[in-house]
Structure 1
Amino acid sequence: MAERNASVYSTGGRRKSVAQEPITSVLPGGDVPVNDSGQEWNADEEVLAALGYKPEFKREFTLWTTFCVSFAVLGLLPSFATTLFYGMGYAGTAGMTWGWLVAMIGIQAVAASMAELCSSMPTSGGLYYASAVLAPPGWGPFAAWVTGWSNWLGQVTGAPSVNYGTAAMILASASVQNPAYVPSNYQTYLLTVLLMLIHGCMASLPTRWIARVNNAGSTFNMIALIVVIILIPAGTDRVSRGLSKFNPSSAVWGDIYQGTDFPAGVSVLMSFTGVIWTMSGYDAPFHLAEECSNANIASPRAIFLTSAVGGTFGWFLQLVVAYTVSDIPAVLDSDLGQPFAAYLVQVLPQRLVLAVLSLTIVAGFAMGQGCMIAASRVTFAYARDDCFPFSKYWKHVNTVTHTPVNAVWLNNLVGNVTLLLIFGGGIAIGAIFSIGACASFVAFTTPIFIRVFFVGNRFRPGPWHLGRFSLPIGVVASGFVVMMVPILCFPSVTGSDLNAATMNWTCVVYGGPMLAILLWWFVSAHKWFKGPKVNVDHLMLGQGEIIDGKDVSERDSGSNDDGVKLRGDVKPGALVD
C-alpha cells in the first residue's frame, strides 16, 4: 500500500482521503489529532477521535453495565404492564402470542442492523451521527436533522410514559386495597411529576454511581420478571372461581378479540404498538457508547442481547397472561384505571395481586431511571452539535459529576409538560406510548434505510457485523417500520364513533412537532445546520471531504487549519468509495 503517514495522499494524479481505504478498524498511532494531555489515548479514545470527537466522559460502563442500563430502559415487566391495553385490547390473546412472535422478527432485524451501525460509529450521537455519515452527498444534514429530532421526541417521552404507568399502578394498588378509592387525574399527574423529579436527581449523579444504581435496578428487573412469570400460573385461583386453571390453547392462539373497527389482520398489526413500545429501549447502548469501554464491540453486543433476551422473556410473560386472563372486556374497562392491575384481580388472591404490583412498581421505577439517563445522553449529543435552541447550556458537562446535568433537567421539564395530556383523558395520554414507538422506530430505521438502499456494499463495518446477511436483514428492518408507522397512527374506531375523544392523538402529538421541525428546516435550519459538529478535525467520509464540508484538497497534508499535527494511518469513517 502507498505510504499513508499523512491525512491526504495522491493516487493517479488525484488527491484522496485515506478514509477511502477499505480499513475496518482504528489502531493506536492512527491519523488522529495528537493528544495535548501527553498521555497516550487508549483504543476507545482512538476510535472516538477518528470519528471526530474528543473524549469527554469517563468510560466506566462495561458490557454488563451497559446491558443493565439498556435492559432497565426496556423494563419488560413494567413495559408490558403499562401497554397491556394495546396487545390485549386490540387483538386479544392471539395478538399477545403469535402476534408478539411476528412483531419480534421485524424488531430483531432493526436491533441487529442498529448494532452493526453502532460498531462502526460508537458515539453518543448514535443514529443521528450515522444518518449524517451514510446519507448521499448534500443530504447528510437533512438526514441527521430528521433522525435526531424524531429520536429526541421518542427519548423525551420515554421517562414520562414509564413514570405515568408506574404512578397509575401505585394508585391502582391503593384501589385494590380500598375499592371505594378512585384515582383522579390530578393525583396521577402529581405522583408522576414526583417520580420525574426523583429520577432527574438520580440521573445527575456521577457515571459510576449511575452504573451501580442501574446494575441493581436491572438485576431486580430480571428477578422480578422471572418471579412474576412463575408466580401467576402457580398462584392463580381461577379454579376457585369456577374456571379451568388455564385457557385452552385453541382459544389462546386462535381467537382474535375485535378491539378495533378494522379487520382482524389489521387489529393484530395495531396490537404491535405494545410490542414496539416495550422493545424500543435497546438503543440505549448506542447513546452510552462514549461511556463504555471496548465500545465498538461491547455496545453492539448489548443492543443485540437486549432485544433478543427481552423479546424471549417478554413472550413468556405474554403467554402467562394469555393463558390465564378470564374476561378481556372487564380488564379493559375496569374502574382501577390500569388494565394490568385489573387482570391480576381476575386471576390472583388480593395478597398476591399486591405482591405482583409491588414488584412491577419497583421495576417500573428502575426503568424510568434508565430512560432518563438515555434521554439525557441523546439531548447532550444533539446539543453538542447546536441542534437545539440555547444548545450551549444543554451541552454543558458538569465539572463535578462529569455528566450532562443540564440536559437531564431540560428533558425533565419537557416531560412534565407532556404529562399534562393526562387531563385530556385516557386516549390523549395514551398517545405518549404510540409516540414513543413511532418516533423511536423512525429514528432507528432512517440510517438503516440509507445504509441499505444508498450505501450498499460500500459500508465500512466495525468489528461486530452481520456479514453477508447485513443487507437482507436491513431490508426486513426497513420494510417492517415502513409498514408499521402508519398503523401506529390508526384510531381504534371509525365512522361516526370517531371524534376528539376517541381519535389516535399520535398523528397530532408526533406529527405536529415533526411537521414544524421540517418547516423549520426549509425556512431556516438548512442555512446553518450542517450535521454533527466535531470537536477535532478529521476525515469523515470516503469522498475527499470532512465534516465541515471543506474538501481535503484545501488542507495541507499532515495538519489541520488550527495547526494541530496529525499522525499516520487514519481509519475513520463509515464509507469507502
Structure 2
Amino acid sequence: MNKPTIQQKTITKSHPHPKPKSTKDHDQNLLESLGYQQNFRRDFGLWSTFCVSFTVLGLLPSFASTMNVGLAYAGTAGMIWGWLIAMVPIQCVAASMAELCSAMPTSGGLYYASAVLAPEGYGPIASWLTGWTNWVSQMTNSPSINYSLASMILALVTLLKPTYESKPWQIFLLTSLLTLLQSFISAMSTRTVARFNAYGSVFNVASLITVLVIILTKSERRDVETGVSLGRFSSTKKVWGEIHNGTEFPDGIAIMMSFVSVIWTMSGYDSAMHISEECTNADLASPRAIVMTSTVGGLIGWVLQAVVAYTIVDIDKVLDSPLGQPWASYLLQILPESLTVFILVLTICCGFSMGQGAMVAASRVSYAYARDECYGPWISRIVKVVHPKTQTPVNAIWFNMIVGLGLSLLILGGDTAISAIFSIGAISSFVGFAIPIALRVWFLPKGIFKRGRWHLGRMSRPIGTLGVAFVILMLPIMCFPAQRGHDLTPALMNWTSIVYGGWMMLISIWWMINARYWFKGPKI
C-alpha cells in the first residue's frame, strides 16, 4: 500500500498536503480536504466498523427472512448454485466500493463519490439520483427487518400456542416497538453504539455456529407423511442437481431469480462507508471492513445455505406452512420443538441487532444528505444537527424513525401493501452501489482518479466492470414475478418495478421542475 497522503477536493493526483503528524490529524485533514468539518467522535476502529457492517448483514435473520425466495424459485439447486455464482460479481461490487471508500471516506459515501466522478456539469444530478436511490434503500431497510422480526416473534407464539392467530395491528405495534428501541440505542454516544454492535456481531457469529452445529448433529430427517427415516442428509446429486422450479420461467431464469435472496442478504456492507467519519484511520479501516464483511459473509452464508439444502425434507410444505415462516417450518421438519424454539430465539436476537445496525447506518446517510441540503433548507436545517454531548446525529435518527413508522403503517393494509414497499430494498441499494462504480470505470479518463491507500491496482476497471454488468443484468430479473399470465394475482405480483420506478420518476420530476435550481451536490 502507498504511504498516507492527504486527498484533495479534486480527484487529480497533484499537490498533496504535508504528511500528517498523527492518525487523528490524517483523518481530520482528509475529511476537510473533501469539503467537510469533523463533527463526530472517531470512536470506531477496524474491528468495530466491521462489526457494524457485519451486524447489518445479519446472515442468520437475513437468511431466515429470504429463505422463501431462494427455495420457491429454484429449490436447493438455487440455494447452492445461486449463492456461489452470485457471490463472484457481488464481491466485485464490494471491492470497487471499498476502493471508492478509501479515496473518499465520508458519510455520504456513494452519493458523494457520484458527484466527484461524474463528467463536468453532471455532478449534481448524478449525486441526486444516487442519493435518493440509496436513501429509499436505507429508509426501508430497518422497518423491513423489524417487520420480518415481528412476524417471526408472532410465529414463535403460534408455535407455542397453536390456537393463536396474529393480526396485522399486532405486527404493526410490535414492529413499531422494535423501531423505537433501536432508535434509542442508536442515539447513544458513538462509543456505546460501537460496543453494542461489537457485542452484536460476536453474538451473530456465535449464534450462526451454534445453529450450524445443532442442525448438523441433532437433525432427524423423516418423511413428513409416513415418518420413515430419510437419513441425516440428502444426496449430493439431489441437492446440487435437482432444480425445484417454482416459477413459470425456464430453469436458468429461475436460478437467476434465486440470486435475489443473495443480493438482499449481501446489501449491508456499505454501512462501513457511511460511518467512516467516525472511524480512525478511515481510508484504510473502512474499505477493509467492507471487504471483510463481504468475504466473511459470503463464505459463512454459503455454508448456511448448504447445510439447509442438505437437510431440508419437503420444500413445498416448508413454503406452505400455516406458520407463515419457512425458517420455523424447516426447523420443525428436522428438529424437536425445543431446539426449534431455541434457534428461533437466537434468530430473533440477531435480527434485533441487525435492525439496530441498519438504523445507525441509515442515520448517517440522512445526516450526510441534510448537511448538503438534499431535503431542502427547512428539513435539512433540523436533520443535520449533531447532539453536542453524544456527538451523534440524533435528529437524523428521530427523522428516520418517523419515516420508518410511517412506512410500517402499511402493515395494516395487508401483506401485499407492505411487501410492495419493502421489495425495493435490494434493487435500490445495488443501483446506488453501481452508479459511482460505473462512473469510475466507464466515464472517468484513465490516470485521473486519485486512489486512496486501499486500491485494486490494474484490476480496478475489470473488477468494477464485472460488478456493474451484474447489477445491470439483475435489474429486470429482480422485477420478475414467479407467476405469469392468468396465474398472476396482486398477492403474487412482484411490485418492485412499479414502486421503485415510481419513486425514481418522482425524484426525477422533482429535479426537473425544482431541485436543479438549488441543489448543487455535496461539497467537493
| Common fold by TM > 0.5 | yes
| 3-state SS, counterpart of residue 173 of structure 2 | helix
Partners of 2:520 and 2:450 lie apart in 1 by 22
Q: Does 1:487 align with 2:474?
A: no
1:386 to 350, 357, 373: 373
- Mapped contact 1:28–1:41 kept (Cα < 8 A): no
Partners of 2:486 and 2:105 lie apart in 1 by 50
| 3-state SS, counterpart of residue 423 of structure 2 | helix
Unaligned stretches of 5+ in structure 1? 1-6, 8-16, 31-38, 534-546, 548-577
Match in the other structure for 1:442: 431
Q: Relative to 1, partners in 2 of residues 1:25 and 1:375: Cα closer, same or farther, differing over 3 Å? A: farther
Could you tell me the TM-score, scaled by structure 2's length? 0.94
Partners of 2:278 and 2:182 lie apart in 1 by 20
Unaligned stretches of 5+ in structure 2? 1-6
Residue type at the aligned position of 2:316: P
Q: Relative to 1, partners in 2 of residues 1:245 and 1:21: Cα closer, same or farther, differing over 3 Å? A: closer
1:145 to 124, 128, 151: 128
Match in the other structure for 2:26: 43
Match in the other structure for 2:452: 462
- Mapped contact 2:82–2:262 kept (Cα < 8 A): no
Match in the other structure for 1:317: 304
Deviations 1:264-300 (A, max 9, x none): 1111111111111100000011000100000000000
- Mapped contact 1:27–1:46 kept (Cα < 8 A): no
Match in the other structure for 1:59: 42
| 3-state SS, counterpart of residue 380 of structure 1 | helix
Deviation at 1:456, TM superposition (A): 4.3
Q: Does 1:338 align with 2:321?
A: no
Deviation at 1:25, TM superposition (A): 6.2
Deviation at 1:257, TM superposition (A): 1.3
Q: Does 1:246 align with 2:215?
A: no
Could you tell me the TM-score, scaled by structure 1's length? 0.86
| RMSD of aligned residue pairs (Cα, Å) | 1.9
- Mapped contact 2:183–2:359 kept (Cα < 8 A): yes
Percent identity between the two aligned chains: 55
Quick check: 307-316 or 85-94, which moved more? 85-94
Deviations 1:480-530 (A, max 9, x none): 000111211111111012232221121232222211001101111111111
- Mapped contact 2:9–2:33 kept (Cα < 8 A): no
Match in the other structure for 1:185: 168
Deviations 1:352-392 (A, max 9, x none): 10111011010001000000000000000001000014111
Structure 1 residues 216-365: aligned runs within 5 Å: 216-239=199-222, 241-365=228-352
Partners of 1:22 and 1:372 lie apart in 2 by 36
Partners of 1:385 and 1:509 lie apart in 2 by 26
Partners of 1:369 and 1:324 lie apart in 2 by 31
- Mapped contact 1:24–1:463 kept (Cα < 8 A): no
1:204 to 166, 187, 209: 187
Residue type at the aligned position of 1:22: K
- Mapped contact 1:421–1:429 kept (Cα < 8 A): yes
Deviation at 1:404, TM superposition (A): 0.8
| 3-state SS, counterpart of residue 424 of structure 2 | helix
Deviations 1:194-231 (A, max 9, x none): 10010011111110110111111111001101111111
Partners of 1:261 and 1:236 lie apart in 2 by 33
Residue type at the aligned position of 2:390: T
Deviation at 1:400, TM superposition (A): 2.0
1:501 to 487, 491, 506: 491
Match in the other structure for 2:3: none
Partners of 1:160 and 1:296 lie apart in 2 by 30
- Mapped contact 1:62–1:293 kept (Cα < 8 A): yes
| 3-state SS, counterpart of residue 97 of structure 1 | helix
Deviations 1:63-95 (A, max 9, x none): 000000001100100010011111111111011
Partners of 2:20 and 2:317 lie apart in 1 by 66
| 3-state SS, counterpart of residue 367 of structure 1 | helix
Match in the other structure for 2:465: 475
- Mapped contact 1:233–1:320 kept (Cα < 8 A): yes
Match in the other structure for 2:4: none
Deviation at 1:27, TM superposition (A): 4.0
Match in the other structure for 1:157: 140
Quick check: 498-507 or 427-436, which moved more? 427-436
Q: Greater CA radius of gyration, 1 or 2?
A: 1
| 3-state SS, counterpart of residue 61 of structure 2 | helix
Deviation at 1:182, TM superposition (A): 2.1
Deviation at 1:21, TM superposition (A): 5.4
- Mapped contact 2:23–2:280 kept (Cα < 8 A): no
Q: Does 1:430 align with 2:419?
A: yes
Deviations 1:20-66 (A, max 9, x none): 75259654469xxxxxxxx9961100111111111110100000000
Partners of 2:11 and 2:189 lie apart in 1 by 39
Instruction: Tell me the number of residue pairs that the alignment of Structure 1 and Structure 2 aligns.
Output: 511
Residue type at the aligned position of 2:55: A
- Mapped contact 2:13–2:449 kept (Cα < 8 A): no
Partners of 1:25 and 1:306 lie apart in 2 by 31
Residue type at the aligned position of 1:529: F
- Mapped contact 2:12–2:449 kept (Cα < 8 A): no
- Mapped contact 2:54–2:293 kept (Cα < 8 A): yes
Residue type at the aligned position of 1:230: V
Match in the other structure for 1:131: 114
